[in-house]
Amino acid sequence: MKLNRKVWVRSMLAAAATAALAGGAWAQGQPVKIGLLATLEGPFAAGGADGMRGAELAVKQRGGVVAGRKIEVIKASSDAKPDVAVNATRKLVEQDKVEIMVGPLSGGEGIAVKDYSKTQPGVTFINGGSGAQATTLVNPSPNFFRFNTEGGQWMVGLGKAAMDKGYKRVMVIAEDYAFPYSQVQGFMSEYCRLGGKVPEKAWVPLGGKDYSSVIAKIPKDVDALLVVLGGADAVNFLTQYENAGGDKPMLGGSITVSQDVLNYKGKRRDSLVGTLSAGPLADAYDGAEWKAFVDDYRKTYPVSAGGFPSPSLFAYVYYVNMKAALDGLAAVNGDLSGGQAKYREALSKMVLKTPNGDVRLDANRQAIGTTFVTEVVKDAQGNLFNKVNRKVDNVEQTLGMSAADFKIGSRDVPACP
Amino acid sequence: MSAAQWRRAMSTGLAGAAPRVPVGRTAAPSPAPAADPFAHSDAPRWLKHLWRTLAPRHVFTALLVLIFPFVATPFFTFQVASQSLVLGLIALSLTFLAGYGGMVSLAQMTVAGIAGYTMAVLGTSSSPEISLGWPWWVAVPAAVLLATVCSALIGWLSVRTEGIYTIMITLAIGVAFYYIVLQNYSVFNGFQGLRELKPPTVFGVQWRDPLPFYFLCLFWAGAGYFLVRYVVRAPFGIALQGIRDNPRRMEALGYGVVAHRVAAYALSGLLAAVAGILLAWYNALMTPGSVGTGWLINILVIAVLGGMKHPIGAFLGALVFVLLQTFAIDVIDRERFNLVIGTVFLAIVLFSPDGLLGLWAKLRSRLSPTQAMTSPQRRQP
């Protein structure tokens, strides 16, 4: 009797909430509330909006219903600052009472939300787009899951590709914060193991405009430059390097060889052909699932409706993480009872089908997934685009090292001068 | 706007009202000493004073803030109420400086940030290689002291300027501090900042739980509020308001203008520093983002939104600010919700240049006929 009343009260509340928000579709049992957090403000506003598109696409593909339970997505925004992200998450969890939380987008936010997740054991947190190594390596939280690979993993395979090209010595030019540290680590741990040398690393401030002092420091005897700069910074660097008469070939980070760089019109444009880079997705990958995903994205979010010509990195990782949340829910038949124990077990053991192949989780609930090595080539019209050079499966967060030997990347780790 | 014009605008806007509150409050009961039932009683003086000055709205507010956390959800207690109190305390430090001292400083969040970062560096955090691990009862006072000293230094640097130039200098200091903590890795841990800043467990209470943290914030916000109320009636506060209105005449009367202004900066720094410690505990982290330009300006927005004529304005402004930040996204979807926030701010400032306090005053003057009839009665037992 008591239980009945409780259920009745709860369902009334749920029905009222649904009626208010979704116009009364409570026929299929209680809805599942999923919080969705991305940056709709600040430096990653465009990326955050595309991240939301990716997550919504995953919900849409299931028709908004999993195991007879309606999926109700409640959105929140941050501006890439950790304190704002925690406030937004706290609102979703404690005020809107979401049962599953997907987000946030950037690295520092991810660490802060992971810390917060420890105080909310009743809610399952799934990452959105954030890629800091420490999120799952240092003091991992038992209810924080990440189904996307991170900055270090995204660079695996590039070291070998560089050695294959005959680059024996490489200088690193990268921005001075955690994400480029992890990118450089992902490259160097493999490159150094294969016998490559990195005699010089230049850490430049984020958003720097003047690279002349860095360019002056480039040693004569290096074979290539590893440039881990964000899109516009990379173009600035290229222009200044060209003006200074530089001619070393380039290797790029995961966000370096973007469309900005490929549209570069300077004299050295042709020298960009052959530039290697690596990342978790490749526009030109011809896997059937990837093509289907891109088609679906384009159909749902045509450019006229604000979508990108091709899903961005953030759309992809949010899609993957939201898909994981929903697939896990389907696996337990919508059962979130018992402190979500069954659901979390299903997530931990799940082999997630993503557009780029299977993803599993390691002991810290961090994804083990696929990385693409890409190479810039010229098509018949003279346009530059990224061609898939190699696909590396099952990339682990510790980059092939044992957990005890692995140290999080920093300015000085790893080193092989 | 020239410096002189600016100052005139500041003083005409504030001269009438700001002193009225403290002076009026003490003066009001005196006309009817004979009717005072406690005039010949043995009750202690403070009790008599309290009886004379207390109005129903004070009791109502006190009951509201005391009962609120037991009625509201932990989310409202922690995120809405505690955050409002902390931000309100920082805005109060600006209200004191600008409303009573005529100096608009954008560096109040920087002072709060200095306190928070100092506590993180001296105390414990997630980066043991940076934090010195001092016990909290050393780290917290040291942080407050250092931030107060820094605030006095900021004041010393900027008091020779006026109006818009003060804003520029304090903004420059704020932005410089932001870039220092952003790019320094050995002390401030750069972009990632310092995390896991928890209040200590004292008397067996987890002070970061919503209820204890609320009362901790309430205590310090109340302390700051009454300190400002007290100081603006004390000789120092009166002299400060005199300096705000006519520094040259005060100088001629023999008051040290620079010394008073620097002291005002130090006092406002003390308020901001205490709030900075609470803010660090509230967020459990200190990152460059929390002392960035956005927040420097947000504090000014909060102070202006609430109104600078009375210390309570800072807290009202903070409450509206936090409610908007938290719930605007529910009103309107996606990228557009900042439009709601901006529109509300604009509307308040447009319809009432004195912020929410100005709206309240307008409302009261509209209802004044009835009030005039009842208010003398109210003081009678």
Q: Does the model's ipTM exceed the 0.90 cut?
A: no
In this prediction, residue B374 has a pLDDT band, given cuts at 50, 70 and 90, of: very low
Q: What percentage of chain B reaches a pLDDT higher than 90?
A: 45
Question: pLDDT: is B111 or A12 the higher one?
Answer: B111
Asked if pLDDT for residue B96 goes beyond 90, the answer is yes
DSSP B300: H
Q: Considering CB atoms only, which of B74, B183, B283 is closest to A83?
A: B283
- Reported as a pLDDT band with limits 50, 70 and 90, residue B68 is confident
Taking Cα atoms as reference points, which of B79, B203, B105 lies closest to residue B158? Answer: B105
Please give the structure tokens belonging to residue A25: 């579709």
* Residue tagged 């450019």 (tokens): A303
Residue B234 belongs to some domain of the structure: yes
**A203 and A119 in a common domain:** no
Q: What is the pLDDT of residue B235?
A: 94
- Helices B235-245 and B257-283, packing angle to 10 deg: 110
A181, A68: one domain: no
Bigger pLDDT: B49 vs A376: A376
Task: Give A298: exposed, middle or buried? Use CB within 10 Å, 0-12, 13-18, 19+.
Answer: middle
Regarding whether A377 and A361 lie in a shared domain, the answer is no
Helix (H) and strand (E) counts in chain A: 13, 15
Chain B residues whose beta carbon lies within 8 Å of the beta carbon of residue A83: 283, 285, 287, 289-290
List, as one string, the DSSP characters of A74-117.
EEEEE-S-HHHHHHHHHIIIIIS--SEEE---SHHHHHHHHHHH
Residues A133, A177: one domain?
Answer: no
Using CA of residue B97, residue B103, residue B109, residue B115, what is the dihedral sign?
negative
The distance of B334 to chain A (nearest Cα, Å) reads: 7
Q: What is the pLDDT of residues A185-202, one digit of tens each?
A: 999 999 999 999 999 999
B238 token code pair? 């009166």
Residue B265 banded pLDDT, cuts 50, 70, 90: very high
pLDDT of B23 higher than 50: no
Distance CA A244, CA A250 (A): 15
Tracing tokens 């931990």 back to the chain, one arrives at A348
Q: Comparing A281-295, B27-41, B244-258, B279-293, which segment has the lowest mean pLDDT?
A: B27-41
How far apart, in whole angstroms, are the C-alpha atoms of residue A284 and residue B119? 51
> Which one of A40, A76, A83 has the shortest CB-CB distance to B285?
A83
Asked if the structure places residue B40 within a domain, the reply is no
Residue A290 lies in a domain: yes
Asked if residue A136 and residue A43 are part of one domain, the reply reads yes
Helices (H), A272-391: 288-300, 313-331, 341-349
CA distance B373 to chain A (A): 44
What local confidence, expressed as pLDDT, does residue B142 receive? 96
B269 in a structural domain: yes
Residue B86 structure tokens: 């902390």
CB contact under 8 A, B192 and A91: no
Look at residue A123 in the predicted model and tell me its pLDDT.
94
Summarize the confidence of residues B350-377 as an average pLDDT: 70
Average pLDDT of the residues of chain B: 83
pLDDT confidence of B45, banded at 50, 70, 90? confident
Tally A–B CB contacts below 8 A.
78
How much of chain A is helix, strand and coil, in % rounded to 5? 40, 20, 40
pLDDT at A61: 93
Angle subtended at Cα B300 by Cα B298 and Cα B301, rounded to the nearest 5 degrees: 60
CA-to-CA distance for B27 and A254, rounded, in angstroms? 70
Q: Which of B65-74, B149-158, B366-375 has the highest mean pLDDT?
A: B149-158
Which residues are CB-neighbours of B251 under 8 A, at least 6 positions away? B257
Q: Are residue A180 and residue A269 in the same domain, yes or no?
A: yes
What's the pLDDT at B356? 86
Determine how β-strand A170-175 pairs with β-strand A224-228.
parallel
Helix (H, G, I), strand (E, B) or coil at B167: helix
Contacts of A111 in chain B (CB under 8 A): 192, 195
Q: List, for residues A72-118, the tens digit of each pLDDT value.
A: 999 998 888 888 899 999 999 999 999 999 989 988 889 899 989 99
Per-residue pLDDT, averaged over A139-159, amounts to 92
Do A295 and A274 share a structural domain? no
Q: How is residue A73 written in tokens?
A: 């997505």
Which contiguous run of DSSP H or E holds residue A36?
strand A32-39
Assigned domain for A18 exists: no
Mean pLDDT along residues A317-336: 93
**Count of alpha carbons within 13 angstroms of residue A402, beta-carbon side:** 2
- Token pair, residue A311, equals 């899903």
State mean pLDDT over B263-284.
Answer: 95
B1 pLDDT exceeds 50? no
Radius of gyration, CA atoms only, chain A: 22
Instruction: Show the CA angle centred on residue A259, arms to residues A255 and A264, nearest 5°.
Output: 115
Q: Cβ contact (<8 Å) for A94 and B337? A: no
Adjacent-strand bridge partners of A392: A371
Residue B94 has pLDDT above 90, yes or no: yes
Specify the pLDDT at position A171.
94
Q: Which amino acid is at B192?
A: Q
pLDDT, mean of residues A309-331? 91
Residue matched to tokens 């409706």 = A305
Whether A25 is in a domain gets the answer no
Residue A328, token pair as written in the block: 């896990």
**pLDDT above 90: percentage of residues in chain A:** 47
Q: Which residues face A174 on adjacent strands? A: A203, A228
8 Å CB contact of B191 and A177:
yes
Residue B26 lies in a domain: no
Residues of B contacting chain A (CB within 8 angstroms): 73-76, 78-79, 83, 183, 185, 190-193, 195-196, 283-285, 287, 289-290, 292, 294, 325-326, 329, 333-335, 337-338
Q: Residue B203 pLDDT more than 50? A: yes
Residues A251 and A389 both lie in one domain: yes
Give the span between the Cα atoms of A204 and A181, in whole angstroms: 12
- Give the E-state strand segments of A219-291 in sequence order: 224-228, 250-252, 276-279
Chain B residue with Cα closest to A115: B196
Asked if the model's pLDDT at residue B20 lies above 70, the reply is no
Give the Cα separation of A378 and A375 in Å (integer).
Answer: 10
Domain of B100 in residue numbering reads as 74-369
Quote the distance between the C-alpha of residue A60 and its chain's center: 21
CATH number, residue A106: 3.40.50.2300
Q: Which tens digits make up the pLDDT trace of A327-370?
A: 999 999 988 988 899 999 999 999 999 999 899 999 889 999 99
* B73 contacts in chain A (CB < 8 Å): 94-95
> For chain B, give me the number of helices (H) and strands (E)?
19, 4
Cα-based distances in Å from B106 to A110, B79, B84, B240, B353:
30, 24, 19, 19, 19
Residue B65 in domain: no
Nearest to B22 by CA among B65, B53, B1, B60: B53
Q: Residue B6: pLDDT above 70?
A: no
Whether A313 maps to a domain, the answer reads yes
Share of chain B above pLDDT 70, in %: 84
Sign of CA dihedral A384, A387, A389, A395: positive
pLDDT of residue A14: 55
Closest CA to B222 of B175, B179, B257, B274: B274
pLDDT for residue A343 = 93
Q: Give residue A1's pLDDT band: very low, low, confident or very high (50, 70, 90).
A: very low
Range of the domain at A191: 153-279+370-395
pLDDT digits (tens, 9 = 90+) for B206-242: 888 888 999 999 999 999 999 999 999 999 999 999 9
Reduce the DSSP state of residue A121 to 3 states and report it: coil
Give the pLDDT score at B25: 41
A360 shares its domain with A273: no
Cα(A260)–Cα(A239) distance, rounded to whole angstroms? 12
B362/B364 Cα distance (integer angstroms): 5
A60 and A80 both lie in a single domain: yes
Q: Structurally, how many domains does chain A consist of?
A: 2
The verdict on A213 and A325 lying in the same domain is no
SS3 percent helix, strand, coil of chain B, rounded to 5, is: 75, 0, 25
Residues with Cβ within 8 Å of B69's Cβ and at least 6 positions away in sequence, in order, are B77, B81, B210, B211, B214, B215
CB contact under 8 A, B73 and A95: yes
In this complex, do B287 and A83 lie within 8 Å of one another by their Cβ atoms?
yes
B75 vs A90: CB contact, 8 Å cut-off? yes
Q: What is the number of other CB atoms lying within 10 angstroms of the CB of residue A192?
A: 16
Select the more confidently predicted residue: B150 or B58: B150
Report pLDDT digits (tens) over A209-246: 789 999 999 999 999 999 998 767 888 888 899 888 88
Q: Averaging pLDDT over each range in A25-39, A253-267, A319-333, B191-205, which range is the top one?
A: A319-333
Q: Which of B225, B110, B253, B108 is nearest to B178 (CA)?
A: B110
Q: Bridge partners of A108?
A: none
The dihedral built from the CA positions of residue B121, B125, B126 and B129, taken in this order, carries a sign that is positive
**In sequence order, what are the residues at sequence separation of 6 or more whose Cβ sits closer than 8 angstroms to the Cβ of residue A77?**
A37, A38, A39, A40, A41, A48, A88, B329, B337
Handedness of CA B137, B140, B146, B151 (dihedral sign): negative
Q: Which backbone phi and psi does A71 adopt, to 5 degrees?
A: -95, 125
Residues A216 and A291 in one domain: no
Distance CA A188, CA A253 (A): 12
Average pLDDT over chain A reads 86
Q: Assign residue B210 the CATH number of its domain.
A: 1.10.3470
CA A216 to each of CA A222, B263, B369: distance values in angstroms, whole numbers, following the listed order: 13, 50, 79
State how many domains chain B has.
1
- Asked whether residue B119 is assigned to any structural domain, the reply reads yes
Give one word for B310, left, alpha or beta, with left for phi > 0 and alpha for psi -120 to 50.
beta
Buried b (16+ CB within 10 A) or exposed e, A98-129: bbbbbbbbbbbbbbbbbbbbeebeebbbbbbb
What distance, in Å, lies between the first and last C-alpha atoms of chain B?
Answer: 52
Residue A412 inside a domain? The answer is no
Q: Determine how β-strand A224-228 pairs with β-strand A32-39.
A: unpaired
Does residue A407 form part of some domain?
A: no
Q: Which segment of A158-162, A275-279, B51-55 scores lowest on mean pLDDT? A: B51-55
